[in-house]
């Protein structure tokens, strides 16, 4: 598998993710950029030298093959380079996308369950996807243009030194201003706006969600106007920020163009002298090379343009990175991997209760012990914390109290080794956008078709599954969109039953089942193939299962 | 290029563009100015270079022309960019306002389109996706024809050959761009689809993260993510290689053409052209003039190639945005004034009377013919199979749907001529998922009501059986209801919404399956609370047969054919 990523993401780690790929893309890009500048420079020199030779009557001895070939070579290099750069850099970008997604995945896997639930809610995930798309563009939008600009300036510097050493100063100043001073100033002027804009758009969206989730109540009460105005205000602020950012980007471009103007102006000023006959070129400067330099400077000017846009991309990527890093795990992962759960013959819960991280409600505590083969039904009024208790045993929520396996106290209920011992049917039915078979096989990857049909039969789903167009290979929509709630529930139950874990925890397993299926499930759980070593469940329906179970009251 | 029939998306985009017609017009004129400055700059610079090389002198006036043209161009570009950006902003922000306004008026019908989170993506991200289209692509479309034409005309008096090189290569460039671009566009569209599939998979697996953890399947899901991403990378690169080929062809053509011009000029200057040895067809000045114009000739085309994806992005976004606006707003329809009932003094005027009410939408029957009445203080259980139109009736009563036939009389006054605001003030609405905003319990109870006294709040909470659990919270009714759940159960949340209804003093309660998300035990308790709380109010409650409303006076059994009214002896604890 791929290598593990560092704990938090930085720009450096983005660059080092696949340095070879980035380097190749950049090299090709550099060749292409230089070729573009050289194409102008060489053509300029070639033309002026040819013109001069012709004027001096030396046209016949002028070697036009080499420069002619060079011009063609540069043209081809520029094109091939541009193409290669795009291909390589996008390959790199997609690779980055893949590894960033996996990074996010790893962080979420290692996050305590209670927090994962929080992250899943709302539009956080949506935002994550957006942030990822933003960040992967960073090398392409920020780093590469800057490098090309730098190389272009260096090339210009070399040419300048060749034409007349005195020209090196303005070129160096130009390079420093364009590559360091301008981005720095633009950053200072615009970065805050970028941050504000990002923060504002999150705020705006949550306000939108909030207002729309209460739309009908607000409309009925006639107060919609007031709330929608506040939404409009946020939008108006966003608009002003966008305008400001746009202005500063355009301004940067304008100044950068003016700098190029000054640079070329300075070339002329430094290479010319004023005499009685007017202005003429200094004797030691070759006019043909000066022409090449001027044209090359125009080429470099083109290279500088994308740098102006980089400020925005830089700011957005920075915010994106910051947000992604908030996902970074706070707890050392190995702590949980060390927890070992040995086979056990009894479970006992002492003063146990589940708890939501944010809640202050104290739920009733439970005390019970369960020997192998035992079964326990939790009973209690609605809201007494039955489901919370089950979720806490399964490691989905925080808990108070103690859990003992034989004479061993288990402290980390969200350790993978504990989860391996249990199968838990939660209240929410989760259906993945995969085939029916893949959804079921999440419970047991090696289950055969016969086993799958058997469990479907137990739950009364066999006829339905057989009637599906592609049988077990029928694709189920995201979040179980094209199946009924009852079917989704039963598929989840099937998955849990297939796991064949020693401890089975079921939250309302009979919801949405007809009485025949309920009987079959009870039979299968007590005598049949799905009989667990330990069973803890909550059900508002009395079933045959209760005869084999003790009950524990939460009141 | 051939004018093709406009797709609905293009139609929509150009309609939006019309709103900023003036700005885009100015942008066009600025484009003309830019084209002229390009020519002037080349003219000046060529003169400077020619004099410099041949005579060693520096023509000040030509230098001023070149410099002035350059500065003017830069400034005009700046202004043009500002104009385009502000046009794009105007279009986007007013579109957004329109969308939000529209969604508001759609009320519950908006959920036919998407969930609120999905809608917010359309309203914000998708609308912003139009930016590049209006600020870059649209202005560029004009330049892409105008600048090359200007340059060709400017070249004509100087060199026939250069003119022909341009005239021949330009259509070739366009031809190849269309040829490769067409394929690339198709590939690109597929690519968009695959990309969204991949994002969906990522979202899907992430949403089910808790379940995967429970099942110990996170590693295999990771492998799946990794595998599809790698595969995707491979296939995408195939597509992209093709897509970049279109820009590559453009680059190739422009490079080769520039090189050709340069070579022709060089050989011409050296009097080495195979067909006219010994004669120089161009002067050095003319040669530089041509060389400087050559890249500018192809530049707009190349830029358009780069901005082409802006168009695709915009069209994709337009599809989603249009979908919102396409959901009809059914307001302001005409309702035939139904012959006013002779209100007989003897019979009681019903609170709500439905007369031959039915509703057809796009040929589909949303609601079959209903005639029924509810008296003041009566409570009606509306039941029936799904799709029979129960929710449609609610939508109509809430005033979000007005395209129906027949009439609704509220205390003998037809609903629509009536003041909707006044009618809605009398309503309380309890849907399946109670409506909550981020804020404290108190803020949520007072939502849209303004400040309520502590006494009123307490009474409402006690009557709705919320007092016990709200009292247990550390901050009481000042506890925030965050979306992550405060540990309040579904039943408790539903009770809070009963408290809200009580607080509003509404006398007509509309309830749409308030118990459907709850287990039957909790549902029964909530129904009992409702029985107490809604006593004396006029109530219409939709409830599934598994949660019978025993305290109702009437049952309306709704089928696809119509509604069957049965009276029922209420079993009420009040």
Half-sphere CA count of A260, side-chain side, radius 13 A: 26
> Mean pLDDT over residues B497-512, rounded?
90
The pLDDT assigned to B346 comes to 45
Alpha carbons A320 and A198: distance in angstroms, whole number: 9
Separation in Å, CA of A227 to nearest CA in chain B: 9
Separation in Å, CA of A172 to nearest CA in chain B: 22
The pLDDT assigned to B330 comes to 56
Which residue of chain B comes nearest to A112, CA vs CA? B210
Alpha carbons B462 and B468: distance in angstroms, whole number: 8
> Mean pLDDT over residues B419-445, rounded?
84
Alpha carbons B24 and B283: distance in angstroms, whole number: 40
The pLDDT assigned to B338 comes to 47
Alpha carbons A180 and B245: distance in angstroms, whole number: 34
Domain boundaries for CATH 1.20.1560.10 within chain A: 11-325
Contacts of B570 (CB under 8 A, 6+ apart): B379, B550, B551, B552, B553
Would you state the structure tokens that stand for residue B177, as one six-digit string? 């761009």
- Tell me A202's DSSP state: H
Is residue A125 pLDDT above 80, yes or no? no
The CATH number assigned to the domain with range A11-325 reads 1.20.1560.10
The pLDDT assigned to B131 comes to 93
Distance in Å from the first CA to the final CA of chain B? 78
Cβ burial, residue B117 (10 Å; 0-12/13-18/19+): middle
Does the distance separating the beta carbons of A382 and B519 come in below 8 Å? yes
What burial letters (b/e) apply to B334-358, b meaning 16+ CB within 10 Å? ebeeeeeeeeeeeeebbbbbbeebb
Would you state the structure tokens that stand for residue A278, as one six-digit string? 């007017």
Query: B3 by DSSP, 3-state: which?
Result: coil
The pLDDT assigned to B1 comes to 41
Find which of A28, A64, A89, A101 to mutate to test the B interface (most B CBs within 10 Å of its CB): A101
Strand B563-567 relative to strand B554-558, pairing: antiparallel
Strand B352-361 relative to strand B563-567, pairing: unpaired
The pLDDT assigned to B483 comes to 47
Taking alpha carbons only, the member of B267, B304, B283, B510 closest to residue B390 is: B510
**Which residue from B204, B398, B484 is facing A358, i.e. has the nearest CB?**
B484
Q: Is A86 on the interface with B (CB under 8 A)?
A: yes
Does the distance separating the beta carbons of A479 and B207 come in below 8 Å? yes
Domain ranges of chain B: 14-155, 352-567
Domain boundaries for CATH 3.40.50.300 within chain A: 337-553
> Mean pLDDT over residues B541-549, rounded?
85
Which residue of chain A comes nearest to B505, CA vs CA? A221
Tokens 């009925």 belong to A220
**Residues of A with CB below 8 A from B255's CB?**
39, 75-76, 78-79
Is residue A39 pLDDT above 80, yes or no? yes
Which residue of chain B comes nearest to A420, CA vs CA? B216
Of residues A147 and B183, more confidence is placed in A147
Is residue A454 pLDDT above 80, yes or no? yes
> Of the spans A169-178, A362-371, B151-160, B498-507, which averages the highest pLDDT?
A169-178
Contacts of B274 (CB under 8 A, 6+ apart): none
DSSP B177-212: HHHHHHHHHHHHHHHHHHHHHHHHHHHHHHHTHHHH
**For residues A205, A206, A209 and A211, what is the CA-based torsion angle, rounded to 10 degrees?**
-110
Is residue A464 pLDDT above 80, yes or no? yes
Taking alpha carbons only, the member of A279, A294, A254, A301 closest to residue B45 is: A294
pLDDT per position as a tens digit, B296-339 = 888 887 787 777 778 878 888 898 899 888 887 655 444 444 44
Element of type H or E holding B370:
strand B364-374
**Residues of B with CB below 8 A from A104's CB?**
206
Contacts of A551 (CB under 8 A, 6+ apart): A376, A377, A378, A379
Polymer length of chain A? 555
CB A347 within 8 Å of CB A185? no
Alpha carbons A452 and A515: distance in angstroms, whole number: 21
Q: Is A356 on the interface with B (CB under 8 A)?
A: yes
CB A295 within 8 Å of CB A36? no
Taking alpha carbons only, the member of A434, A6, A75, A203 closest to residue B201 is: A434
Lowest mean pLDDT among A317-321, A365-369, A498-502, B174-178: B174-178
pLDDT per position as a tens digit, A243-269 = 999 999 999 999 999 999 999 999 999
Of residues A156 and A75, more confidence is placed in A156
Q: Name B413's bridge partners.
A: B410
CB B170 within 8 Å of CB B225? no
Strand B427-430 relative to strand B508-512, pairing: parallel
Does the distance separating the beta carbons of B487 and A359 come in below 8 Å? yes
Element of type H or E holding A281:
strand A278-281
Find which of A210, A383, A415, A488 to mutate to test the B interface (most B CBs within 10 Å of its CB): A383
Query: May I ask the CATH architecture of the domain A337-553?
Result: 3-Layer(aba) Sandwich (3.40)
Which residue of chain B comes nearest to A419, CA vs CA? B214
The pLDDT assigned to B418 comes to 64
Tokens 């003063």 belong to A351
Alpha carbons B134 and B313: distance in angstroms, whole number: 12
The pLDDT assigned to A278 comes to 79
Does the distance separating the beta carbons of A51 and B54 come in below 8 Å? yes
Q: How many CB atoms lie within 10 A of CB B457?
A: 20
The pLDDT assigned to B332 comes to 46
pLDDT per position as a tens digit, B339-356 = 444 444 445 688 888 888
Is residue B44 pLDDT above 90, yes or no? yes
Three-state SS for B298-353 is HHHHHHHHHHHHHHHHHHHHHHHHHHHHHCCCCCCCCCCCCCCCCCCCCCCCCCEE
Is residue A169 pLDDT above 70, yes or no? yes
Tokens 């059914």 belong to B330
What burial letters (b/e) apply to A509-520, b meaning 16+ CB within 10 Å? bbbbbeeebbeb
Separation in Å, CA of B342 to nearest CA in chain A: 31
Average pLDDT across chain B, whole number:
83
The CATH number assigned to the domain with range B352-567 reads 3.40.50.300
> Mean pLDDT over residues A411-422, rounded?
85
Q: Name A409's bridge partners.
A: A404
Is residue A503 pLDDT above 90, yes or no? yes
> Mean pLDDT over residues A406-434, rounded?
86
Alpha carbons A78 and B186: distance in angstroms, whole number: 27
Average pLDDT across chain A, whole number:
85
The pLDDT assigned to B539 comes to 94
Does the distance separating the beta carbons of A122 and B117 come in below 8 Å? yes
> Mean pLDDT over residues A483-488, rounded?
76
Of residues A294 and A280, more confidence is placed in A294
Interface list for A 133-192 with B (CB within 8 A): none
- Tell me A480's DSSP state: G
Cβ burial, residue B165 (10 Å; 0-12/13-18/19+): buried
Phi, psi of B267 (to 5 degrees): -65, -40
Contacts of B149 (CB under 8 A, 6+ apart): none
Is residue B500 pLDDT above 70, yes or no? yes
Alpha carbons B12 and B318: distance in angstroms, whole number: 7
């Amino acid at each position: 598998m791929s290598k593990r990523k560092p704990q938090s993401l930085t720009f450096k780690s983005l660059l080092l993710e696949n340095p070879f790929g980035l380097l190749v893309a950049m090299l090709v890009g550099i060749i292409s950029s230089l070729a573009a500048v050289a194409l102008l420079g060489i053509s300029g020199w070639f033309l002026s030298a040819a013109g001069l030779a012709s004027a001096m009557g030396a046209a016949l001895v002028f070697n036009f093959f080499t420069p002619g070939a060079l011009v063609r070579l540069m043209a081809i290099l520029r094109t091939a380079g541009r193409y290669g750069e795009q291909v390589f850099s996008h390959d790199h970008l997609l690779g980055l996308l893949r590894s960033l997604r996996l990074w996010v995945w790893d962080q979420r896997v290692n996050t305590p369950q209670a927090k994962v639930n929080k992250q899943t809610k709302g539009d956080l995930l949506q935002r994550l996807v957006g942030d990822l798309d933003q960040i992967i563009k960073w090398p392409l939008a920020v780093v590469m243009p800057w490098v090309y600009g730098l190389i272009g300036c260096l090339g210009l510097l070399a040419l300048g030194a060749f034409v007349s050493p005195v020209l090196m100063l303005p070129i160096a100043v130009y390079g420093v201003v364009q590559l360091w001073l301008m981005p720095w100033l633009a950053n200072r002027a615009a970065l805050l706006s970028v941050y504000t804009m990002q923060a504002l758009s999150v705020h705006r969206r949550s306000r939108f969600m909030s207002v729309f989730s209460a739309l009908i109540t607000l409309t009925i009460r006639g107060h919609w106007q007031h709330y929608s105005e506040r939404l409009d205000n946020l939008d108006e602020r966003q608009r002003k920020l966008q305008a400001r950012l746009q202005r500063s980007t355009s301004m940067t471009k304008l100044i950068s163009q003016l700098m190029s103007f000054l640079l070329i102006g300075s070339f002329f000023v430094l290479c010319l002298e004023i005499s009685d006959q007017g202005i003429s070129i200094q004797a030691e400067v070759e006019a043909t090379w000066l022409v090449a330099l001027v044209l090359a400077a125009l080429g470099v000017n083109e290279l500088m343009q994308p740098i102006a846009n980089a400020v925005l991309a830089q700011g957005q990527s920075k915010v994106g990175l910051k947000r992604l890093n908030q996902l970074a795990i706070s707890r050392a992962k190995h702590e949980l991997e060390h927890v070992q759960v040995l086979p056990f013959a009894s479970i006992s819960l002492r003063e146990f209760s589940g708890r939501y991280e944010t809640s202050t409600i104290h739920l009733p505590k439970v005390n019970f012990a369960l020997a192998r083969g035992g079964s326990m039904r939790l009973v209690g009024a609605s809201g007494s914390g039955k489901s919370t208790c089950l979720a806490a045993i399964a490691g989905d929520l925080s808990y108070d109290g103690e859990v003992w396996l034989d004479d061993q106290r288990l402290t980390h209920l969200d350790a993978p080794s504990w989860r391996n011992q249990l199968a838990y049917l939660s209240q929410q039915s989760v259906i993945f956008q995969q085939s029916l078979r893949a959804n079921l096989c999440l419970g047991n990857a090696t289950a055969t078709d016969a086993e799958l049909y058997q469990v479907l039969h137990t739950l009364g789903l066999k006829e339905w599954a057989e009637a599906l167009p592609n049988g077990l290979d029928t694709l189920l929509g995201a979040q179980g969109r094209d199946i009924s709630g009852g079917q989704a529930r039963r598929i989840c139950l099937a998955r849990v039953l297939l796991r064949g874990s020693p401890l089975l925890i079921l939250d309302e397993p009979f919801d949405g089942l007809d009485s025949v299926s309920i009987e079959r499930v009870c039979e299968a759980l007590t005598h049949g193939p799905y009989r667990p070593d330990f069973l803890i469940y909550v059900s508002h329906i009395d079933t045959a299962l209760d005869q084999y179970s003790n009950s524990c009251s939460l009141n | 290029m051939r004018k093709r029939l406009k797709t609905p998306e293009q139609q929509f985009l150009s309609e939006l563009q019309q709103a900023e017609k003036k700005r885009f017009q100015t942008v066009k004129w600025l484009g003309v100015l830019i084209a002229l400055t390009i020519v002037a700059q080349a003219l000046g610079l060529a003169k400077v270079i020619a004099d410099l090389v041949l005579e060693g002198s520096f023509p000040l006036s030509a230098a001023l022309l070149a410099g002035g043209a350059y500065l003017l161009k830069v400034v005009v570009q700046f202004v043009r960019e500002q104009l385009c950006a502000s046009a794009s902003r105007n279009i986007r922000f007013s579109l957004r306002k329109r969308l939000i306004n529209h969604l508001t008026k759609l009320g519950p019908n908006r959920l036919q389109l998407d969930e609120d989170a999905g809608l917010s993506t359309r309203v914000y991200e998708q609308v912003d996706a139009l930016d590049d289209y209006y600020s870059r692509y649209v202005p560029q479309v004009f330049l892409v024809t105008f600048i090359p034409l200007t340059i060709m005309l400017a070249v004509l008096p100087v060199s026939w050959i250069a003119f022909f090189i341009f005239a021949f290569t330009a259509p070739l460039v366009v031809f190849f761009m269309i040829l490769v671009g067409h394929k690339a566009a198709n590939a690109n569209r597929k690519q968009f689809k695959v990309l969204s599939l991949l994002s969906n998979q990522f979202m899907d697996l992430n949403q089910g993260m808790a379940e995967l953890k429970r099942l110990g399947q996170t590693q295999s899901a990771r492998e799946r993510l990794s595998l599809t991403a790698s595969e995707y990378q491979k296939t995408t690169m195939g597509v992209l290689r093709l897509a970049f080929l279109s820009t590559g062809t453009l680059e190739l053509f422009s490079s080769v053409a520039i090189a050709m011009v340069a070579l022709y000029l060089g050989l011409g200057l050296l009097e080495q052209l195979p067909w006219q040895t010994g004669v120089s067809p161009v002067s050095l000045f003319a040669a530089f003039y041509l060389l400087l114009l050559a890249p500018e000739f192809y530049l707009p085309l190349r830029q358009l190639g780069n901005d082409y994806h802006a168009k695709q992005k915009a069209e994709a976004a337009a599809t989603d945005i249009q979908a919102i606006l396409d959901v009809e707003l059914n307001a302001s329809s005409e309702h035939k004034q139904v012959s006013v009932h002779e209100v007989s003094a003897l019979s009681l005027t019903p609170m709500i009377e439905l007369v031959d009410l039915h509703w057809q939408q796009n040929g589909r029957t949303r609601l079959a013919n209903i005639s029924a009445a509810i008296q003041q203080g009566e409570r009606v259980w509306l039941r029936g199979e799904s799709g029979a139109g129960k929710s449609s009736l609610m939508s109509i009563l809430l005033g979000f749907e007005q395209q129906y036939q027949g009439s609704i009389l509220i205390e003998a006054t037809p609903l629509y001529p009536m003041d909707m605001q006044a009618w809605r003030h009398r309503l309380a609405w309890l849907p399946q998922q109670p409506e909550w905003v981020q804020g404290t319990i108190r803020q949520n109870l007072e939502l849209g009501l303004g400040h309520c006294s502590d006494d009123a709040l307490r009474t409402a909470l006690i009557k709705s059986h919320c007092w016990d659990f709200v009292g247990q919270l550390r901050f009481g009714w000042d506890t925030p209801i965050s979306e992550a759940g405060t540990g309040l159960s579904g039943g408790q949340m539903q009770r809070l919404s009963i408290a809200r209804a009580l607080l509003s003093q509404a006398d007509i309660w509309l309830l749409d399956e308030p118990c459907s998300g709850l287990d039957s035990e909790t549902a029964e308790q909530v129904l009992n609370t409702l029985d107490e709380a809604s006593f004396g109010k006029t109530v219409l409650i939709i409830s599934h047969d598994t949660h019978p409303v025993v305290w109702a006076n009437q049952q309306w059994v709704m089928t696809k054919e119509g509604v069957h009214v049965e009276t029922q002896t209420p079993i009420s604890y009040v």
